């Protein structure tokens, strides 16, 4: 196999100040393994939205579900354990990436450097909660994508300057009869994109008490923009992000905004798997990403072939004729499945640069009115 051609992995440039991230003292935290009875504190979302609610065809994705309102998922102790793992020196120094979509991300640290986080998302009870909200039985996409972290940090001076500018602009707009927040869309934490994977669960790891903004913006089928209010610490949002363009908006009034994004795919091998690697190749350890991508896809193919072989043998034993056309359709589907795998494993990757091929055509550039989704 040829050596993958990549530039050096992008490391986030260290800012000229010490980011005001509250790193938990590991010495005072419990080192117990993940226990759903102790670490899950689940309250169902008050509402979920369908693809139809977003003016998209109901069969756009693999489930009619589109997005949930924020819901409480984890206890305070669980969140502090997660923060301790992702903000550890080893993770911070060896798992940082940046791109033209997001300036600071931590990836590929579980399970080696984050066993608690790994066990959290692999636990059957956690999977059952996310699956029920999404309306389909889900499993984690692959280990490399467990607990992907998006980070926005700023100095105390920057925070105060932003709040002062926000207050001045809001006051001026009020005098002129202009509504809305002028700071939400100009410098997003993560720019417009679709996810590489079918579903994500976005969990807030920061204290949002004084936060202004920080929502997730969703682009609908008509080009309108809906905003899902950001979750509070310990809360989460589930999104079928492979099929909906979205953006993580900037937050004011806080020195940090840390979110954990864990990706999921359907458990059933007969469900279509629309996973692409468009938005993750340039911010990944490519040999590891391609191995895990190939491994789970080949496992799906293996199970499909075993099921098909069983049906063929049962048909033969029952004395019935094999449906050749149906068999050929199955084989054609698997050919497409393999061709898609091959296409996604690009060998010449420029790290840190993500093109616009993940966006959804003409409706990606339509921007009309903005409608909030209340928490």
Check residue 156 and give its pLDDT.
63
Least confident span in 28-37, 139-148, 290-299 = 28-37
Residue 94 has pLDDT above 80, yes or no: yes
pLDDT tens track for 95-127: 999 887 777 899 999 999 999 999 999 999 999
Contact, 40 vs 126, CB < 8 A? yes
Residue 16 has pLDDT above 90, yes or no: no
Check residue 286 and give its pLDDT.
94
* CA distance to 79, 97, 218, 326, 374, per residue, from 227 (Å): 25, 27, 6, 44, 8
Q: How many CA atoms lie within 13 A of 282 on its CB side?
A: 16
pLDDT tens track for 299-325: 999 999 999 999 999 999 999 999 999
- For residue 111, whether the previous peptide bond is cis, meaning omega lies within 30 degrees of 0, is yes
pLDDT tens track for 257-295: 889 999 999 999 999 999 999 889 989 999 999 999 999
Task: Give me the phi and psi of 313, to 5 degrees please.
Answer: -65, -40
How large is the average pLDDT for residues 161-166? 62
* CA distance to 26, 183, 258, per residue, from 153 (Å): 21, 16, 8
Decide: residue 115, CB within 10 A, 0-12 exposed, 13-18 middle, 19+ buried: middle
User: Which pTM value belongs to this model?
Assistant: 0.83
Check residue 152 and give its pLDDT.
78
Decide: residue 125, CB within 10 A, 0-12 exposed, 13-18 middle, 19+ buried: middle
pLDDT tens track for 170-212: 554 444 444 444 444 556 656 788 899 999 999 999 887 777 7
pLDDT tens track for 67-83: 999 999 999 999 999 99
208-220: b (≥16 Cβ within 10 Å) or e: beebbbbbbbbbb
Structure tokens belonging to residue 269: 């091998």
SS (H, E, C) the chain: CCCCEECCCCCCCCCCCCCCCCCCCHHHCCCCCCCHHHHECCCCCCCEEECHHHCCCCCCCCCCEEEECCEECECHHHHHHHHHHHCCHHHHHHCEECCCCECCEECCCCCCCCHHHHHHHHCHHHHHHHHHHHCCCEEECCHHHCCEEEEEECCHHHHHHHHHHHHHHHHHHHHHCCCCCCCCCCCCCEEEECCCCCEEEEEECCCCCCCEECCEEEECCCCCEEEECCCCCCEEEEECCCCCCEEECCEECCCEEEEEEEEEEECCCCCCCCCCCCCCHHHCCHHHHHHHHHHHHHHHHHHHHHHHHHHHHHHHHCCCCCCHHHHHHHHHHHHHHHHHHHHHCCCEECCCCCCCCCCCHHHHHCCCCEEEECC
Q: How confident is the model at residue 367 (pLDDT cuts 50, 70, 90)?
A: very low
What 85-93 contacts at long range (C-beta under 8 Å, 24+ apart), as own/partner pairs, is 85/109, 85/113, 85/114, 85/115, 85/116, 85/117, 86/114, 86/117, 86/147, 86/149, 86/205, 86/258, 86/260, 87/21, 87/23, 87/24, 88/26, 88/113
225-228: strand order across its sheet = 190-193, 246-248, 216-219, 225-228, 370-373
């Amino acid at each position: 196999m040829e050596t993958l051609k990549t530039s050096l992995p992008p490391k986030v440039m260290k800012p000229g100040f010490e980011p005001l991230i509250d790193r938990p003292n590991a010495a005072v935290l419990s080192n117990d393994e993940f226990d759903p009875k102790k670490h899950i504190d689940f309250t169902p979302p008050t509402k979920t939205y369908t693809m139809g609610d977003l003016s998209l065809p109901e069969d756009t994705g693999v489930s009619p579900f589109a997005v949930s309102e924020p819901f409480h998922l984890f206890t305070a102790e669980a969140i502090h354990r997660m923060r301790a793992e992702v903000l550890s020196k080893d993770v911070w120094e060896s798992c940082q990436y940046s791109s033209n979509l997001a300036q600071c991300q931590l990836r590929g640290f579980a399970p080696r450097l984050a066993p608690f986080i790994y066990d959290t998302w692999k636990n059957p009870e956690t999977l059952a909660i996310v699956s029920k909200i999404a309306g389909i039985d889900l499993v984690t996409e692959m280990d490399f994508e467990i607990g992907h972290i998006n980070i926005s940090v700023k100095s105390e001076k920057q925070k105060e300057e932003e709040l002062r500018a926000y207050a001045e602009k809001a006051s001026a707009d009020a005098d002129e009869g202009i509504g809305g927040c002028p700071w939400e869309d100009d410098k997003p934490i993560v720019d417009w994109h679709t996810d590489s994977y079918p579903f994500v669960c976005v969990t807030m790891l920061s204290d949002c008490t004084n936060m202004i903004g920080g929502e997730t913006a969703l682009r609908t089928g008509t080009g309108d923009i809906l905003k899902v209010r950001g979750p509070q610490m310990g809360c989460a949002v589930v999104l079928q992000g492979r099929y909906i363009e979205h953006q993580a908006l900037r937050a004011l009034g806080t020195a940090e905004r840390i979110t954990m994004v864990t990706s999921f795919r359907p458990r059933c091998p007969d469900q279509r798997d629309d996973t692409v690697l468009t938005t993750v190749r340039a911010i990944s350890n490519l040999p590891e990403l391609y191995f895990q991508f190939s491994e789970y896809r080949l496992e799906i193919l293996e199970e499909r072939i075993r099921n098909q072989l069983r049906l063929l043998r049962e048909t033969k034993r029952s004395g019935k004729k094999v449906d050749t056309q149906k068999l050929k359709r199955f084989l054609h589907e698997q050919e497409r499945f393999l061709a898609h795998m091959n296409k996604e494993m690009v060998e010449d990757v420029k790290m840190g640069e993500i093109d616009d091929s993940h966006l959804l055509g003409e409706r990606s550039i339509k921007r009309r009115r903005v409608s909030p989704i209340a928490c």
